[in-house]
Amino acid sequence: MFGELIYLDNAATTRLDERVLEAMTPFFLKTYAIATSQFGYSAGIEAREAIGAARATIAKALGAAPEEFVFTSGSTESSNIAIKGVALALGEKKGKHIITSRVEDFPVLHSARTLEKQGFQVTYLDVDEFGRLDLDQLRDAIIPETILVSIQAANQEIGTLQDLVSIAQICKDRGVLFHTDATHTFPRVPIEVQEVPVDLMTVTAHLIHGPKGVGGLYVRKGTPLNKWMDGGFQEFNLRAGEENIPAAIGFAKAVELTTPEETARLEQMRDRLIERLLQIPHSQLNGHPTLRLPHNVNVSFRFVEGESILLHLDMKGFAVSTGSACFSRSLEASHVILGIGGNHERAHGSVRFTFGRYNKSGDVDAVADVIADVIEQLRAISPLGKEL
């Protein structure tokens, strides 16, 4: 079954693009030196120039200056550096209040929890039924002690995009730093830091057919940020540790290869799949109908359970994800579906499909046909829904 896999879990990770691998290979086998100072040996200078070029490519996609972009080991580290770094820089000086939302991904949510244990106050903002933030609630939540607002660019499960322009502007007007987790948007949904006054932005490579284990953090010039992992002076003295040069090269290549035309193609597949799935009785779209990630579909099917759906699809060669409690390691239902006002039943029957470069347009009808059968089969043995 692994030969014929139709992979629809591209928000979990993606297949590496061969062209990315090709760009990376010389930096494993030939130019494997570390990035030395300008007075180092030539192999090191070559490596330094290569990572500099990679940085410039990614910074350009963000509308940032190269020295405003720090390479990290991935978005988990980026969000940790941003949130805990600001807390260390401003906690004693300005205040100990942080604002985030209930539906953030775990790097942000758990960084906030850790700070709470250390005496910070955290406000977790609600979202509406589509997963959108209430901007008035954000305005009201900002107090003189607030040092940071961290709101995701798009949701990892239901794909809802936030109004980043307005959120960033509110923070700027109130003199509060703004971090956004753009793991799932960059660079498909462009966010230019010249237009959106964001101070810190988390990005990653492995969701756009780049390598795993590399990400980055945009840090606007002058943003107070304390380094807390000690070591060398790499990455403008913000992130210690030898730079992962092959991965950084791969990240830049992956950014270059991500085009608006491709994103438009994913969007078409998304819309077609949503249309097909909503034809199944007792199905419901999770997230916003239009303000959503170009490659994300998330639908709940009543009276059936997600792990069972996932296993049946796996047996037929499809990889998808579910918010069901039965599927999670902790047996907890998706905090995102509960956050948009859904109940356990809705989380239980939720299935996420995410497209990527290697999906063909035929995959849409293939999965839609199969899932319709699976749902029917599971509903036939379910004690629920028979009276309807």
Partner 1 sequence: MPDFPYSEIVMEHFRHPHNVGRIEEPDAKSIEGSPACGDMVALYLKVDEKSHRITDIKFESYGCASNIATGSIITEMAKGKTLEEAKAITWRQASEALGGLPPIKTHCSILAVDGLQAAIQNYEERHGLIKERVPTTVEVVRKRLKRVMNPLVGLDLVRTKLVKEIKVADGIVNVALKLPDNHQFAPNIHEEIIEKIEPLWDVTQVIVEFEE
* Contact set with partner 1 (CB under 8 A): 303-305, 307-308, 311, 315, 324-327, 329-332, 338, 343-345, 348, 380-384, 386
Find, among 180, 178, 192, 153, the residue nearest to 60 by Cα: 192
Of 3 and 383, CB closest to partner 1? 383
Place of tokens 């959106």: 196
Least Å from the CB of residue 18 to partner 1: 24
C-alpha span between 364 and 134 (Å, rounded): 34
Least Å from the CB of residue 277 to partner 1: 20
Of 53 and 326, CB closest to partner 1? 326
Phi-psi region of 295 (alpha: psi -120 to 50; beta: other; left: phi over 0): alpha
Find, among 170, 166, 181, the residue nearest to 104 by Cα: 181
Contact (Cβ atoms closer than 8 angstroms) between residue 11 and residue 207: yes
Contact (Cβ atoms closer than 8 angstroms) between residue 187 and residue 204: no
Least Å from the CB of residue 350 to partner 1: 13
C-alpha span between 333 and 316 (Å, rounded): 25
Of 29 and 388, CB closest to partner 1? 388
Least Å from the CB of residue 1 to partner 1: 10
Among 53, 311, 326, 384, the active-site one is 326
Least Å from the CB of residue 346 to partner 1: 10
Of 360 and 386, CB closest to partner 1? 386
Find, among 105, 112, 120, the residue nearest to 181 by Cα: 105
Of 123 and 244, CB closest to partner 1? 123
Cis upstream peptide for 197 (omega within 30°): no
Alpha carbon distances (Å) from 118 to 100, 113, 114: 17, 9, 7
Of 183 and 350, CB closest to partner 1? 350
Least Å from the CB of residue 330 to partner 1: 8
Of 29 and 331, CB closest to partner 1? 331
Active site residue 326: yes
Least Å from the CB of residue 379 to partner 1: 9
- Where in the sequence numbering do the catalytic residues fall? 326
